[in-house]
């Protein structure tokens, strides 16, 4: 970005000196200015006290209804890396700043301009990114107001919890484009959505219906099927998600991490192996300061002060 700003300054001076609005430098200046004026498609924001520990990830690409293109994918990847490396992060809210849309799916206009190797690289990166959402050690909550189609729905499905407004609409329309909901990493333990995550949430037969037909379904059907945890009046999904995030944020952060690990890993194996996973996770919290603080706070009838140690 610094190099682009320097180029912008040089081009601007040359354009001003020439006085020719149609000169190559003027064109370059205008294009650079347009790039610099565009906001980042993904914004990461850490809430302050008393909500320290809650991180907000915002999708901000209004010109494309938050369709996932190369730049947005890069932003999602960067955001996940930052969250994963932040020991103070306890909960992530994934929301949209664009009215009436969560995410419209993949950017098909951009996809049409890609060659086969570019498409393969893009899809592989998208798979890895959605798997990163699924594998984050802390809880993630998707806030869906408006449309969540294709990859947008898969992004929501890769979160742990989903809250929607009553005007939200959902679909996996990929079969209508002669492809399948395929943002799944075959090498990953967890699944990000589509043909793998959706059946684990709504059941095999219902998932087949939704994927085979690609039909849209509304917020009421989504909550009845278990696609979302809560459906609230339009415009109130973020507040409900924030309330849940605050509840989670008050709990022992190590316990929350181990609970998520035990559930996710245990669901992929038989019961005997799952109980072994649970035992291993419990062992991780047994000798922590937070466990002792929790017992002391209970005995003293006060709110515990957890430090994640």
Q: How confident is the prediction along the chain (309 residues), in pLDDT tens digits per residue?
A: 444 445 444 445 554 455 544 555 555 555 444 444 567 999 999 999 999 999 999 999 999 999 998 999 999 999 999 999 999 999 999 999 999 999 998 888 887 788 888 878 887 888 888 888 889 999 999 999 999 999 899 999 999 999 999 999 999 988 887 877 754 333 333 334 578 889 999 999 999 999 999 999 999 999 999 999 999 999 999 999 999 999 999 999 999 999 999 999 999 899 999 999 999 999 999 999 999 989 998 999 999 999 989
92 and 80 assigned to the same domain = yes
Axis crossing angle, helix 271-286 with helix 289-300, rounded to the nearest 10: 80
pLDDT at 26: 57
227 and 258 assigned to the same domain = no
pLDDT at 188: 34
64 and 115 assigned to the same domain = yes
Residue 30 lies in a domain: no
Among the listed residues 89, 104, 106, 142, the single catalytic one is 106
CA distance 95 to 54: 13
279 and 178 assigned to the same domain = no
pLDDT at 195: 82
Axis crossing angle, helix 253-266 with helix 271-286, rounded to the nearest 10: 170
Can you give the CATH number for the domain in which 219 is found? 3.90.226.10
pLDDT at 38: 60
Residue 62 lies in a domain: yes
pLDDT at 24: 53
Whether 174 sits among the annotated catalytic residues: the reply is: yes
pLDDT at 182: 59
**Helix, strand, coil % in the chain, rounded to nearest 5:** 55, 15, 30
CA distance 198 to 45: 29
Q: Are 72 and 105 in contact (CB under 8 A)?
A: no
Which residue range forms the structural domain that includes residue 260? 254-300
Q: Is the alpha carbon torsion for 106, 112, 117, 118 positive or negative?
A: negative
Can you give the CATH number for the domain in which 279 is found? 1.10.12.10
pLDDT at 132: 85
Residue 3 lies in a domain: no
Residue 26 lies in a domain: no
pLDDT at 35: 44
pLDDT at 210: 93
Among the listed residues 142, 174, 245, 294, the single catalytic one is 174
Q: Are 53 and 253 in contact (CB under 8 A)?
A: yes
Residue 175 lies in a domain: yes
Residue 23 lies in a domain: no
218 and 195 assigned to the same domain = yes
217 and 293 assigned to the same domain = no
Among the listed residues 75, 150, 151, 152, the single catalytic one is 151
294 and 219 assigned to the same domain = no
Chain centroid to Cα 145, Å, comes to 14
Residue 149 lies in a domain: yes
Residues 6+ apart with CB under 8 A from 154: 130, 172, 181, 183, 192, 193, 194, 197
CA distance 170 to 152: 9
* Assigned token pair, 191: 């699944």
Whether 154 sits among the annotated catalytic residues: the reply is: yes
181 and 200 assigned to the same domain = yes
Residue 225 lies in a domain: yes
207 and 223 assigned to the same domain = yes
* Assigned token pair, 185: 């990493």
* CA distance between the termini of the chain: 39
Q: DSSP state, 97? A: S
Whether 278 sits among the annotated catalytic residues: the reply is: no
263 and 234 assigned to the same domain = no
pLDDT at 96: 97
246 and 258 assigned to the same domain = no
Among the listed residues 56, 134, 145, 154, the single catalytic one is 154
pLDDT at 97: 95
58 and 101 assigned to the same domain = yes
CA distance 48 to 269: 39
Number of domains forming the structure of the chain: 2
Q: Are 195 and 157 in contact (CB under 8 A)?
A: no
């Amino acid at each position: 970005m610094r190099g682009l700003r320097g180029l912008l300054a040089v081009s601007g001076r040359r354009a001003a000196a020439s006085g020719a609005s149609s000169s190559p430098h003027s064109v370059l200046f205008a294009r650079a200015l347009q790039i610099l004026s565009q906001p980042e498609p993904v914004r990461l924001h850490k809430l302050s006290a008393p909500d320290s520990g809650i991180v907000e990830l915002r999708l901000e690409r209004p010109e494309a209804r938050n369709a996932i293109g190369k730049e947005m994918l890069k932003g999602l990847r960067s955001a996940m890396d930052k969250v994963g490396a932040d020991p103070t992060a306890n909960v992530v809210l994934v929301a949209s700043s664009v009215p009436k849309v969560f995410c419209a799916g993949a950017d098909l206009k951009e996809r049409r301009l890609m060659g086969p190797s570019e498409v393969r690289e893009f899809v592989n990166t998208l798979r890895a990114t959605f798997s990163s959402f699924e594998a984050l050690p802390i809880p993630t909550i998707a806030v869906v107001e408006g449309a969540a189609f294709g990859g947008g729905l898969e992004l929501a499905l890769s979160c742990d919890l989903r809250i929607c407004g009553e005007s939200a609409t959902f679909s996996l329309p990929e079969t209508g484009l002669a492809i399948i909901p395929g943002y799944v990493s075959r090498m990953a333990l967890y699944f990000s959505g589509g043909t793998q995550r959706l059946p684990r949430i709504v059941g095999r037969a219902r998932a087949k219906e939704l994927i085979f037909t690609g039909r849209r379904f509304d917020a009421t059907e989504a909550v009845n099927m278990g696609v979302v945890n809560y459906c609230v009046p339009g415009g109130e999904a973020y507040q409900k998600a924030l309330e849940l995030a605050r509840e989670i944020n008050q709990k022992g952060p190590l316990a929350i991490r181990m609970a998520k690990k035990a559930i996710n890993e245990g669901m992929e194996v038989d019961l005997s192996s799952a109980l072994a996973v649970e035992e291993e996770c419990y062992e991780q919290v047994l000798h922590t300061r937070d466990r002792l603080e929790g017992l002391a706070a209970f005995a003293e009838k006060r709110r515990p002060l957890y430090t994640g140690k």
